[in-house]
Structure 1
Amino acid sequence: MRFTFRQIEYFIAAAESGSIKLASERINISQPSISTAISHLESELGAQLFLRRHAQGLSLTPVGRQLLAEAKLLLDQANRLYQTASEASETVRGTLALGCLVTLAPMILPEVSQSFAARYPGARVLPEVADQEALLNRLASAELDVALGYDLMVPDEFDFEPLAELPPYAIVAQSHPLAARTAITLEELSRYGLILLDLPLSRDYFLGLFAREGLAPRIAARIPHSDVIRTMAANDFGYAIANVRPRSTRAMDGRDVSLLRIEGNPQPMQIGLLRVARRQPTRLVSTFCDHCRTLISDGNVPGMEAPLSAPS
């Protein structure tokens, strides 16, 4: 056998991502390394695994589809060797497939994953960023071991352990008529245009904030990228509502935004750990969950300022 498990891992990442570029971003490995690994596998196995289309990326050949299923089994069996040794020796090692909600990831993912890997050198964190619906699907298919997400319509087949509560707040440009305010009601906000975070489940949460008050927001735009929303709000295209509160009030283009507390105790989001219920966690997963409990709480969320709170 003249191929490595690392090459198998790169092949799986490329197959699931549909492109070398996306696979590179997903597993944080250079594109040439992934291309070389795939070429080596094809040469070693004597089979073409992908059809390469410049505009459409990669698509698996019939042989590639069969090998993908076998490759996943092979990698899973290899990981079990580490898990078995870890359980027997009471050490923490192996690869942790960690999912993180896309809106949380810029703040909490770097510190959580890096601090865990630093504390447990035998462990390797393989991060993946997605919306809540995709995270749940990948947990169910065992592509992820655990995920950091919200308590957004979590089905019964998953366990959700809350770690911190994040109330919603409004984001407006410093030139906005409301910018001098420190707090605002949803009724007042509904008179202006909302730049809605258009992600599965997330959009329902934000629209639900208004629905519970018998209100319907004026939607100025539907955008699935929080950085774009923040920058558009900074340019006074409309206001936005968010739960994560970065330590900087600056948007991507350098403009600052103003943050307003929403009055009336609107429903907060809960950050927490998502796992498949009734699936016994390995020592690696259990140790990671313990690590998150020490890092994330109502008083401290990595990469974020404290929530905007009502005056006491």
Structure 2
Amino acid sequence: MAEFTLRQLQYFMAVVDHGSVTAAAKAHHISQAAVSMAVGQLEKSLGVELFLRAQSKRMVPTPAGSDLARHARQILQLVDEVEDTVVGGYEDLRGPLRIGSTLTVSPRMVPPLVEHFVRNHPLVDVRVVEDSPAAVQEAVRGGRLDLALMYAMQRDPDLEAVEVADVQQHLLLPADHRMAGAQEIFLADVVEEPLILLDVPPTVERVLAIIRAHGLNPQLRWTSSNMETIRSMVARGLGYSFVNTVPRTDVTYDALRVAYVPIADDIPDNPIVAVLPPGHRAARRVREAVDFLQRLRTEERSAPGP
């Protein structure tokens, strides 16, 4: 029977997830020699080659390596759960916490979450990845992320989701727009004007579908993958946009101003959710992250309005 260690599996998975010995060593704060030795010993013990060494120094798993990765990830997750169950009541939270977030959700959710762990659970090593909804969800499926934060409409149905923040959708308008001071606004009031949308799938398709569901024909004029670019374009009177989360400031990157007006139409709720792997008992540090965000949601609900 082949003999190998959990440490060898950990370093093997680090190379799988990070794509190279160098990146794996850097992520785990160990020497490249230690990672290379662990992978070499694992290959020798199993009698198979686990990686193809490309000229770019990127390590690509062989078919045997891919098979091992699926089993190794399950083994390491089980070990994590054992440590949680047996030691959890007697030790502070510790270990890696890998958080994914979409770019628009990140500024609202990630900073308070990271601060919470830095101040209250310093032994937890928090890492953050910001990417598209598709990318962070694929990383959750593959076990490279523990959870991912995004809007509910962006979630794939095969993953579990827990609501962690409320959202009231607004229209983003120039500060001098005729409707800028309104208490709320109907889509029909602006639908003939140029529309500027965030070009992060599936945002464009979802927003256009919402508008068309009210029998309206949106005039999509521009898209951008950067929300700050959109805010500045709107501030210059080039069109209007949709936002799920309203920032604390109405000042744009270039010191112009915008206005946020709640949408009066009946449109689907789109709360922020924490996406988790299906059917997997999350580690204590992951549960603490979700619990903290839900506590934050409760505090925001009870806070007095502006």
CA distance in 1, matches of 2:168, 2:11: 44
Label 1:299 to 1:263 Cα distance change in 2 as closer, same or farther (>3 A): same
Label 1:130 to 1:235 Cα distance change in 2 as closer, same or farther (>3 A): same
Q: Does 1:86 align with 2:84?
A: yes
Letter in 1 for 2:144: E
Residue aligning to 1:30: none
- Residue 242 (structure 1) shift: 0.4
Indicate conservation of the 8 Å contact 1:207/1:217, yes or no: yes
Residue aligning to 2:58: 60
Residue aligning to 1:108: 109
Label 1:80 to 1:195 Cα distance change in 2 as closer, same or farther (>3 A): same
Label 1:154 to 1:78 Cα distance change in 2 as closer, same or farther (>3 A): closer
Name the SS of the counterpart of 1:116 in structure 2.
helix
CA distance in 1, matches of 2:234, 2:163: 30
Moved more, 222-231 or 62-71: 62-71
- Residue 181 (structure 1) shift: 3.5
Residue aligning to 1:15: 19
Letter in 2 for 1:183: E
Among all aligned residue pairs of Structure 1 and Structure 2, give the percentage whose two residues are the same amino acid.
Answer: 18
Residue aligning to 1:186: 187
Indicate conservation of the 8 Å contact 1:168/1:267, yes or no: no
The aligned runs of 1:121-200 (5 Å cut-off) are: 121-152=122-153, 154-200=155-201
Residue aligning to 1:258: 259
- Residue 282 (structure 1) shift: 2.0
Letter in 2 for 1:15: G
- Residue 82 (structure 1) shift: 5.5
Indicate conservation of the 8 Å contact 2:175/2:259, yes or no: yes
CA distance in 1, matches of 2:241, 2:171: 6
Residue aligning to 1:56: none
Moved more, 251-260 or 39-48: 39-48
> Computing the radius of gyration over CA atoms, which structure comes out larger, 1 or 2?
2
CA distance in 2, matches of 1:49, 1:42: 14
Letter in 2 for 1:148: L
- Residue 245 (structure 1) shift: 0.9
Deviations 1:137-170 (A, max 9, x none): 2211111111222211644422222233212111
Indicate conservation of the 8 Å contact 2:133/2:155, yes or no: no
- Residue 76 (structure 1) shift: 8.0
Deviations 1:172-195 (A, max 9, x none): 222334334443210111110010
Label 1:196 to 1:108 Cα distance change in 2 as closer, same or farther (>3 A): same
> What RMSD over aligned residues (CA atoms) do the two structures have, in Å?
4.0
- Residue 105 (structure 1) shift: 0.2
Indicate conservation of the 8 Å contact 1:163/1:298, yes or no: no
CA distance in 2, matches of 1:135, 1:96: 14
TM-score (norm 1): 0.73
Count of matched residue positions in the alignment of Structure 1 and Structure 2: 285
Residue aligning to 2:294: 293
Moved more, 39-48 or 269-278: 39-48
